[in-house]
């Protein structure tokens, strides 16, 4: 063997070794704790009301899907592959919290929303939504309640399971929100079985309302009807990834993905039909008409409260209200994935009077948005190396 060939083989072996080390490091990073950044990265980005200061609290999160704000100033963050992590106020990221339910992490499925129970300060309970595996490669949206410990969950109980479970990788929803009367609302998708949204014996494409323990409220609109699931609050929805309850009025707001065009906001009322796929402002991704669609409106079906003819791809929703000192008071925020922005809708009561798109110069897909009690806005970016951001509103003029 010549010396040149020996050197070539040694170099190749060294490169393979380094490549293996890189792969091992990536796997370790996914399962271990990550230290706080030595210095927070900040950005200045324009808005109609002045410069916004954007602070990167944490980075290196794998497709983070939802963030919950903890009373101690820290955060809980879900990563779609199935990990739940604590993020400290200084940006340190914990190792994955143990005993999270098994998730079906394919396509759009995985670990999805996380919210604190209304009595979290006393109970330490949280709610998680996720894609739950079923038989023969099927899956469906599910919700579990658990007690949050320092490093693991305990008393994990599944309180909701979408039925029937279906095969396919997309349209699971799913966001969670509480009203002030002891109910939890659960958004879902129709699992790309379009007409399932119209079939009341199925839970796909439905907004569900349950009691906090998962039981069915006696006053749900379809209780007692043999052909309908009693969990259903409203139906005819496509893929709802945004949900919030207006703290001023208690009104439920949800936003959902249209197909190619036709993303919409609805204020769902009990028992009402919101039309998908019979009524839509969108078309198929192929460019053809949705085969079941009959137009943009139809008697007996509710028109969207607000619609985008070009889809920003909405995910996450939060109100910033009752903050008179904030330049963003009376705003509704929505994350936009395809548009790479944070949408701010200015409200007068329930009326949407103006739209502004924030963060576009930074070029990030925005997956979730939450607002703290002091009016700070927190955002997750949907990336392989996703970020948790804090937005400080423009200074008052």
Q: For residue range 344-360, list pLDDT tens digits in order.
A: 999 999 999 999 999 99
- Tracing tokens 């994935």 back to the chain, one arrives at 337
Query: Quick one: tokens of 146?
Result: 């658990």
How large is the average pLDDT for residues 313-342? 97
Q: Kindly state the average pLDDT of the residues 84-99.
A: 98
78: which strand partners? Answer: 66, 84
Of 15 and 167, the one with more pLDDT? 167
Beta bridge partners of 187: none
**Which residue, among 72, 37, 85, has the nearest Cα to 57 in the 3D structure?**
37
Q: Give 16-66 pLDDT, tens digit per residue.
A: 333 333 323 333 446 789 988 878 899 999 999 999 999 999 999 999 999
Give phi and psi for 203, each to the nearest 5.
Answer: -100, -10
Across residues 210-238, what is the average pLDDT? 98
Q: Provide the percentage of residues in the chain whose pLDDT is more than 70.
A: 92
**What's the rounded Cα separation, in Å, for the pair 65 and 383?**
10
Pairing outcome for strands 64-69 and 386-392: unpaired
Whole-number average pLDDT of the chain: 92
Residues identified as active-site:
171
DSSP-based three-state secondary structure for 131: strand
pLDDT at 25: 32
* Distance in angstroms between the alpha carbons of the first and the last residue of the chain: 77
How confident is the model at residue 40, as a pLDDT?
Answer: 84
d(Cα 226, Cα 233) in Å, to the nearest integer? 16
The pLDDT of residue 142 is 98
Query: Of 269, 276, 206, which Cα lies nearest the Cα of 235?
Result: 206
Contact 82, 103 (CB under 8 A): yes
* Per-residue model confidence as pLDDT tens digits over 92-134: 999 999 999 999 999 999 999 999 999 999 999 999 999 999 9
Query: Which pLDDT belongs to residue 217?
Result: 98
In the chain, the percentage of residues whose pLDDT exceeds 90 is: 89
Q: What is the pLDDT of residues 165-220, one digit of tens each?
A: 999 999 999 999 999 999 999 999 999 999 999 999 999 999 999 999 999 999 99
Chain-centroid distance, C-alpha 232: 20
Gap between the Cα atoms of 116 and 124, Å rounded: 8
Q: What are phi and psi of 137, to 5 degrees?
A: 80, 10
Which pLDDT value is given to residue 242?
Answer: 98
Phi-psi bin for 19: left (phi > 0), alpha (psi -120 to 50), beta?
alpha
Q: Is 234 exposed, middle or buried (0-12, 13-18, 19+ CB in 10 A)?
A: buried
**How far apart are the C-alpha atoms of 136 and 206, rounded to whole Å?**
24
Cβ atoms of 305 and 246 within 8 Å: the answer is: no
Half-sphere exposure of 121 (CA within 13 A, CB side): 3
Q: Which positions ≥6 away from 62 have C-beta within 8 Å?
A: 30, 79, 80, 81, 83, 384, 385, 386
Q: What is the pLDDT of residue 36?
A: 87
d(CA 84, CA 97): 6
């Amino acid at each position: 063997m010549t010396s040149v060939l020996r050197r070539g083989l040694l170099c190749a072996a060294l490169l393979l070794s380094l490549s293996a080390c890189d792969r091992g490091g990536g796997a370790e990073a996914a399962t271990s704790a990550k230290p706080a950044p030595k210095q927070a990265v900040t950005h200045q980005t324009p808005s109609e009301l002045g410069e916004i200061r954007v602070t990167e609290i944490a980075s290196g999160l794998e497709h983070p899907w939802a963030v919950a704000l903890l009373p101690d100033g820290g955060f809980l963050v879900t990563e779609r592959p199935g990990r739940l992590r604590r993020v400290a106020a200084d940006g340190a990221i914990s190792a994955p919290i143990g005993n999270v339910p098994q998730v079906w992490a394919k396509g759009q499925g995985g670990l999805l929303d996380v919210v604190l129970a209304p009595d979290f300060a006393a109970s330490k309970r949280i709610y998680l939504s996720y894609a739950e595996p079923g038989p023969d490669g099927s899956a469906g949206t599910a919700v579990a309640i658990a007690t949050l410990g320092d490093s693991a969950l305990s008393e994990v109980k599944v309180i909701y399971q979408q039925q029937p479970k279906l095969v396919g990788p997309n349209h699971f929803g799913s966001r969670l929100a509480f009203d002030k009367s002891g109910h939890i609302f659960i958004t879902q998708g129709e699992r790309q079985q379009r007409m399932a949204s119209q079939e009341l014996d199925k839970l796909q494409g439905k907004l569900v309302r349950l009691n906090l323990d998962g039981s069915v409220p006696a006053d749900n609109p379809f209780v007692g009807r043999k052909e309908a699931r009693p969990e259903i609050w409203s139906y005819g929805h496509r893929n709802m990834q945004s949900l919030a309850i207006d703290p001023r009025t208690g009104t439920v707001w949800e936003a959902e993905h249209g197909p190619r065009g036709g993303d919409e906001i609805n204020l769902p009322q009990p028992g009402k039909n919101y039309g998908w796929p019979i009524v839509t402002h969108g078309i198929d991704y192929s460019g053809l008409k949705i085969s079941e669609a009959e137009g943009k409106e139809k008697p007996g079906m509710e028109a969207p409260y607000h619609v985008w003819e070009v889809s920003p791809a909405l995910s996450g929703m939060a109100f910033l209200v009752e903050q008179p000192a904030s330049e963003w008071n009376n705003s509704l925020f929505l994350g936009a994935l395809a548009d790479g922005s944070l949408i701010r809708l200015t409200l007068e009561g329930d009326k949407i009077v103006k739209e502004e798109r924030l963060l576009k110069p930074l070029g990030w897909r925005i997956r979730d948005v939450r607002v703290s009690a002091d009016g700070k806005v927190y955002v997750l970016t949907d990336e392989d190396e996703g970020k948790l951001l804090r937005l400080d509103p423009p200074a008052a003029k």
